[in-house]
Structure 1
């Protein structure tokens, strides 16, 4: 499965931004280094970007830059996990994660138990796929274990979660982005989620 790319020239033309703006945002880490993809073309080396990701990111920057400084934006958009914490009772009260997910996956914890951001992120991603109707509770257990075992290895680098099934057997994988994935004909891609986008969404629920 190949992500569609957009050239730097087409990106600047489509969004009406300058070369200087683009690279200033890169220096401020508003746009990840990994999204700048160098490819050989008939005119030489050119820079491309994952199209959906870069267009959504630039829209977000343009919408927020009037209200936030570039440093504040960088903190908001960073894939690094913040030091936020939240009690189980507050999670329920603010409906950040649905009660059924907390009951199933955090049922033994008291209402005063405090979760770190990474644990909240795992619950949030499970909840997201369950509410989309794409995953069973049993698969949720498998996803949680995948996140616990492998997400810390990325150490703040952006990654995608890939959820597949083959002959009724589900699998989860985390991969660095941007990356291209190809499957044999018997594999169904159920979902591919940007973990960085999930982090942004979860951060937004603290506001």
Structure 2
């Protein structure tokens, strides 16, 4: 991580207009991960730095959301752990997680009408966004769901990214665990790269 990728605690507090006390309260609550507090030696001694893009995005989310939900609820939103949630299908439509037509096709794909658990809801949430944007077809979405559902079990809450690709009109996808470097065939077009932790955060907000 080079100097352009990090921000000092002093600069962070000034840029975001938050206090030292707020920063460390959010840390105690688990809103800002312990591993983001990076101790480095400088000419003035030991100073604390943060991964710049991540911490600025997180603080912006906290400031925007803390008036609507409690800090404990926010901590759950930002936790990478998958919740033990079960919702009826019609509840997903009410919360604008999925459109009715896509939900019906997903239920046919699953071959049952039972309440959906968090992994099902996450898969539907991602599928809905991709279908709505026109980036994949429903048949491609079914393949993506299979990869996502099986991969989430194997990754077991480990941060990962969903990579969607197409070569000569043929769709494929995979889950990867960053940081990693990819050098695809020149004929492969990257359709989309989705951060699963980010998608989980977005979904949890809708479920609060």
Task: Assess same fold via TM > 0.5.
Answer: yes
Go from structure 1 to structure 2 and tell me whether the alpha carbon gap of 1:187 and 1:96 turns closer, same or farther (over 3 Å shift): same
- Answer whether contact 2:97 2:125 (CA < 8 A) is retained: yes
Go from structure 1 to structure 2 and tell me whether the alpha carbon gap of 1:48 and 1:117 turns closer, same or farther (over 3 Å shift): same
> Higher mean Cα deviation, 61-70 or 187-196?
61-70
Which gives a bigger RCO, structure 1 or 2 (Cα 8 Å, sep 6+)?
1
Question: Number of paired residues?
Answer: 200
In structure 2, the partner of 1:183 is 183
Residues 55-204 of structure 1 mapped to structure 2, 5 A cutoff: 55-66=56-67, 68-107=69-108, 108-110=111-113, 113-177=114-178, 179-184=179-184, 185-204=186-205
- Answer whether contact 1:165 1:171 (CA < 8 A) is retained: yes
- Answer whether contact 1:39 1:48 (CA < 8 A) is retained: no
Which string of whole-angstrom CA distances, capped at 9 and with x for unpartnered residues, describes residues 109-152 of structure 1?
Answer: 23xx2111111111111111111110111210110111111112
The structure number with the bigger radius of gyration is 2
Which string of whole-angstrom CA distances, capped at 9 and with x for unpartnered residues, describes residues 178-204 of structure 1?
Answer: x24333433322111122222222222
Which string of whole-angstrom CA distances, capped at 9 and with x for unpartnered residues, describes residues 33-89 of structure 1?
Answer: 565679999xx99855262x4322110112233554433321122121222211123
- Runs of 4+ with deviation above 6 angstroms: 36-41
Per the normalisation by structure 1, the TM-score is: 0.76
- Answer whether contact 2:29 2:71 (CA < 8 A) is retained: yes
Per the normalisation by structure 2, the TM-score is: 0.76
- Where 1:174 maps in the other structure, the secondary structure is strand
How far did residue 172 of structure 1 move?
1.5
Q: Unaligned stretches of 5+ in structure 2? A: none
How far did residue 100 of structure 1 move?
2.6
RMSD of aligned alpha carbons? 3.3
Go from structure 1 to structure 2 and tell me whether the alpha carbon gap of 1:170 and 1:47 turns closer, same or farther (over 3 Å shift): farther
- Where 2:149 maps in the other structure, the secondary structure is helix
Matches of 1:40 and 1:172 in 2, distance apart? Answer: 42
Q: Unaligned stretches of 5+ in structure 1? A: none
